[in-house]
């Protein structure tokens, strides 16, 4: 298995609080990798480490065989893009200007705006379906459109690797599917490697080509969803009893939670309760 991005035996911590210890993970090239797990399992932390946002206290993250934290910032930014969970659109910025900011790592003080920049920005907007909105103000857009604009900005960065931190949070269900369809399309047509953290296990099972299940800072399982997603795994990771059936639309695994009566006194349910507390 080829991989440009990997973490080797990293220990991840915020100040004194250790989130994960001795964690190793490889992102297969040209995959749409999705990281899933219950709340506070360390999945977003892992993504932050992979995108060099968080420096591991031990171990290292490798990008093309080099330790990512010792590489020049702009060089990393030309290889690896990130869509953070929350970004701030400056007041009164237009869609085209915001997307254009994705070109930053390719520019310099005296090379601020080449014809190529302009072409790539337009292509990125077209690819995300906001090509017609270039002149609109970002504040005026709906949540779904806005998320597309941010994805367009990350696309304009033209990185072979793109990391997305919960790209569907705060979106309506139709916009969630919209955004995920877009990701799948980018992965298929442009051959980029995508890594996303997702909340919804069914979304992950449907769209991912490679799934990483995390619990308590450890990787419980990884591989193609069709092989990995089983009722046993879901119970182990989420503490939820369920059936796994074939998705009638796509044939991918579909998780159906067990009915209340059969679920009632299972140890799994108790474990979830404990985790919440």
Partner 1 sequence: MSTRTAKALRTPGGLSVRYEPRAAVAVVLLAVLTVAAGVVLIGSGDFPIAPGDVVATLLGDGTMAQEFIVEDLRLPRVLVAVLVGASLGLGGAVFQSVSRNPLGSPDVIGFGQGAAVGALTVIVLFGGSPTAVAGGAVVGGVVTGALIYLLAWKRGLHGFRLVLIGIGAAAMLTAVIHYLITKADLIDATRAVLWMTGTLDGRDWAQFWPLLAVCAVLVPLVLGHGRPLRMLEMGDDAAYALGVKVERTRLVLMGSAVLLVSAATAAAGPITFVSLSAPQLARRLTRSPGPNLAASALMGAALLLVADWAATNAFGERELPVGVVTGVVGGVYLLWLLVTERKAGRI
Under the criterion CB under 8 A, does residue 240 sit at the interface with partner 1?
A: no
Which of 24, 57, 66, 87 lies at the binding interface for partner 1 (CB under 8 A)?
87
Considering only residues 39, 66, 113, 190, which one is a binding residue for partner 1 as defined by CB under 8 A?
Answer: 113
With both helix axes pointing from N to C terminus, report the angle between 143-156 and 115-127 in degrees, rounded to the nearest 10. 140
Assess 73 for contact with partner 1 (CB under 8 A): yes
Query: Using CA of residue 155, residue 159, residue 160, residue 166, what is the dihedral sign?
Result: negative
Q: Toward partner 1, which CB reaches closer, 1 or 88?
A: 88
Q: Are 247 and 230 in contact (CB under 8 A)?
A: no
210 CB-contact burial (10 Å; exposed 0-12 / middle 13-18 / buried 19+): buried
- Sign for the CA dihedral angle at 203, 148, 223, 251 comes to positive
Binding to partner 1 by residue 102, rule CB under 8 A?
A: yes
Residue 82 as a binder of partner 1 (CB under 8 A): the answer is: yes
**Per CB under 8 A, 17 contacts partner 1:** no
Concatenating the DSSP letter of every residue in 195-253 gives EEE-S-HHHHHHH-SEEEEEETTEEEEEE-HHHH--HHHHHHHH---EEEEE-TTT-SE
Select the span of 80-88, 181-189, 228-236, 246-254 touching partner 1 (CB under 8 A): 80-88
Tell me if 167 contacts partner 1 by CB under 8 A. no
The Cα–Cα gap between 209 and 22 comes to 25
Report, in Å, the least distance between residue 38 CB and partner 1.
23
User: For 62-142, where are the alpha helices, taking DSSP H only?
Assistant: 73-79, 95-100, 115-127
In the complex, minimum distance from the CB of residue 222 to partner 1, in angstroms, rounded to a whole number:
24
Note whether 170 binds partner 1 by CB under 8 A. no
- Least separation in angstroms between residue 5's CB and partner 1 is 14
- Nearer to partner 1 among residue 137 and residue 224 (C-beta): 137
Applying the rule CB under 8 A, the residues between 126 and 165 that interact with partner 1 are 134-135, 154, 157
Q: Residues interacting with partner 1, by CB under 8 A? A: 14-15, 51-53, 73-78, 81-94, 96-98, 100-102, 104-105, 107, 109-115, 118, 134-135, 154, 157
């Amino acid at each position: 298995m080829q991989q440009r991005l990997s973490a080797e035996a990293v220990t991840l911590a915020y100040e004194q609080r250790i989130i994960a210890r001795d964690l190793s993970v490889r992102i297969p090239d040209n995959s749409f990798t999705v990281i899933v797990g219950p709340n506070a399992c360390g999945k977003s932390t892992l993504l932050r480490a992979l995108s060099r946002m968080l420096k591991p206290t031990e171990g290292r993250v490798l990008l093309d065989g080099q330790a990512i934290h010792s590489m020049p910032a702009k060089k990393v930014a030309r290889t690896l893009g990130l869509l953070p969970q929350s970004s701030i659109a400056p007041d009164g910025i237009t869609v085209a200007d915001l997307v254009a900011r994705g070109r930053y790592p390719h520019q310099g003080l005296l090379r601020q705006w080449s014809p190529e920049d302009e072409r790539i920005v337009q292509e990125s907007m077209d690819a995300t379906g906001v090509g017609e909105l270039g002149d609109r103000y970002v504040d005026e857009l709906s949540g779904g459109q806005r998320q597309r604009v941010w994805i367009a900005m990350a696309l304009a960065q033209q990185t072979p690797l793109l990391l997305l931190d919960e790209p569907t949070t705060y979106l309506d269900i139709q916009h969630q599917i919209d955004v995920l369809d877009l990701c799948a399309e980018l992965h298929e047509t442009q051959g980029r490697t995508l890594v996303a953290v997702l909340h919804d296990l069914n979304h992950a099972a449907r769209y991912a080509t490679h799934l990483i299940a995390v619990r308590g800072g450890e990787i419980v399982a990884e591989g193609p969803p069709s092989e990995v997603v089983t009722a046993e795994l879901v119970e182990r990771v989420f503490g939820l009893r369920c059936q796994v059936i074939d998705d009638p639309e796509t044939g991918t695994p579909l998780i159906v939670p067990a009915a209340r009566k059969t679920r009632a006194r299972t140890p799994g349910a108790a474990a979830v309760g404990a985790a919440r507390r």
